[in-house]
């Protein structure tokens, strides 16, 4: 599943390609991926230029020349692939691979720009969506997102505040997009590991020092992953033909059964927690 660093990577790549391009037509093959009527969706898009591309958490926000916004959420298996002649950039989930030909049978929405280049929204499991909103609706959507590593609102004070009076585990909280935006399963496990805290620890048992570490490593892990263009596994297609190389920096995720490289004593364990596969070192995480 694409997380914040992978979504940020595709936003950065698309900015270099589609800013100022005019949408001349749209083909919608699966209307369930659009949160409004297909006719209304097309009417609000065709003829627009792409002004800018932003992101909040894992949500892509495309500012259109009419002042409306196109929201794109890739969810579990969504993919954005831009094709200009032989030049292809892709981001999001790994399958289908762009070299398998475009459009593929999973290309459910296709944008065509005035220079004949195309943007494909592929989604195998079809949990992703697109939606056009005005400024007021955009503000309501954004209000649902919590503080976010990398944004100004991610201060230690705000972090401590959102942890107050919570009885869930730290992992469940890190995954709750309404409280802390952008962190998914992979990075939640890595942040807990670097903070020497077990993902299942109840928040009300955390010391101030542990909270401070969790806050600090949330930013460090996300920023480093963005620098490495995200984490690429075998089923994940990177953007622009490069691999997301954060996979080489993972300490616990997918490392079950291996010796912990942080303490060199523990063996990484994998359990099910907060509904997700959860990885930790029983020796150096308390
Ligand atoms: Zn360890």
Instruction: Write the DSSP assignment of the chain as a string of letters.
Output: ---HHHHHHHHHHHHHHHTTPBEEEEEES-GGGBSS-HHHHHHHHTTPBEEEEEEETTEEEEEETTS-EEEEE-TTTEEEEEEETTEEEEEES--S-GGG-SS-TTEEEEEEETTS-EEEEEESS---EEEEE-HHHHHHHHHTS-B-TTSTT--HHHHHHHHTT--SBHHHHHH-TTTB-S--HHHHHHHHHHTT--TT-BGGG--HHHHHHHHHHHHHHHHHHHHTTSB--TT-PPSTT---BGGGG-SSTT-TTSBPTTTSS-B-EEEEETTEEEEE-TTT--
pLDDT the model gives residue 100? 66
Expressed in angstroms and rounded, the spacing between residue 202 Cα and the centre of ligand 1 is 20
Structure tokens at 97: 């691979």
Give me the architecture of the 4-143 domain, per CATH. Alpha-Beta Barrel (3.20)
Mean pLDDT, the chain, rounded, equals 92
Q: Exposed (0-12), middle (13-18) or buried (19+): which is 225, by Cβ within 10 Å?
A: buried
pLDDT the model gives residue 219? 97
Give me the architecture of the 156-280 domain, per CATH. Orthogonal Bundle (1.10)
Expressed in angstroms and rounded, the spacing between residue 278 Cα and the centre of ligand 1 is 15
Point out the least confidently predicted range of 17-21, 28-32, 93-97. Answer: 93-97
pLDDT the model gives residue 279? 98
CA separation for the pair 13, 83 (Å, rounded):
12
pTM for this structure?
A: 0.90
pLDDT at residue 159 tops 90? yes
Band of residue 248 on the pLDDT scale cut at 50, 70, 90? confident
CA separation for the pair 161, 183 (Å, rounded):
18
CA separation for the pair 253, 240 (Å, rounded):
25
Expressed in angstroms and rounded, the spacing between residue 134 Cα and the centre of ligand 1 is 49
| Catalytic one of 21, 56, 58, 198 | 58
| Catalytic one of 12, 22, 44, 276 | 276
Band of residue 89 on the pLDDT scale cut at 50, 70, 90? confident
Expressed in angstroms and rounded, the spacing between residue 286 Cα and the centre of ligand 1 is 10
Point out the least confidently predicted range of 205-209, 230-234, 264-268. Answer: 230-234
Expressed in angstroms and rounded, the spacing between residue 283 Cα and the centre of ligand 1 is 5
CA separation for the pair 107, 152 (Å, rounded):
36
Q: What are the domain boundaries of the chain?
A: 4-143, 156-280
58 is catalytic: yes
Point out the least confidently predicted range of 20-24, 134-138, 211-215, 248-252. Answer: 248-252
């Amino acid at each position: 599943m694409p997380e914040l660093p992978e979504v940020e990577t595709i936003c950065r790549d698309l900015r270099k390609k589609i800013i100022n391009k005019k949408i001349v037509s749209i083909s919608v093959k699966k209307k369930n991926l659009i949160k409004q009527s297909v006719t209304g969706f097309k009417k609000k898009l065709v003829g627009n230029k792409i002004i800018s591309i932003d992101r909040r958490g894992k949500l892509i926000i495309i500012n259109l020349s009419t002042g409306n916004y196109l929201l794109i959420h890739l969810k579990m298996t969504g993919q954005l692939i831009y094709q200009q002649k032989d030049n292809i950039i892709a981001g999001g989930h790994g399958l289908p691979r762009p070299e398998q030909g475009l459009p593929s049978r999973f290309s459910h929405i296709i944008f065509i720009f005035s220079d004949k280049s195309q943007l494909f929204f592929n989604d195998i499991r079809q949990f992703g969506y697109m939606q056009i909103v005005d400024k007021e609706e955009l503000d309501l959507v954004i209000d649902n997102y919590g503080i976010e590593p990398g944004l100004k609102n991610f201060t230690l004070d705000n972090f401590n505040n959102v942890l107050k009076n919570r009885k869930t585990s730290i992992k469940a909280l890190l995954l709750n997009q309404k409280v802390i935006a952008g962190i998914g399963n992979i990075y939640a496990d890595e942040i807990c590991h670097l903070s020497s805290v077990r993902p299942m620890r109840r928040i009300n048992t955390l010391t101030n020092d542990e909270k401070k570490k969790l806050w600090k490593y949330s930013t460090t892990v996300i920023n480093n992953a963005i620098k490495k263009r995200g984490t690429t596994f075998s089923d994940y297609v990177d953007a622009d033909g490069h691999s997301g190389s954060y996979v080489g920096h993972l300490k616990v995720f997918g490392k079950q059964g291996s010796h912990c490289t942080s303490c060199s004593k523990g063996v990484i364990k994998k359990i099910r927690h907060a509904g997700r596969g959860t990885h930790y070192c029983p020796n150096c995480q308390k």
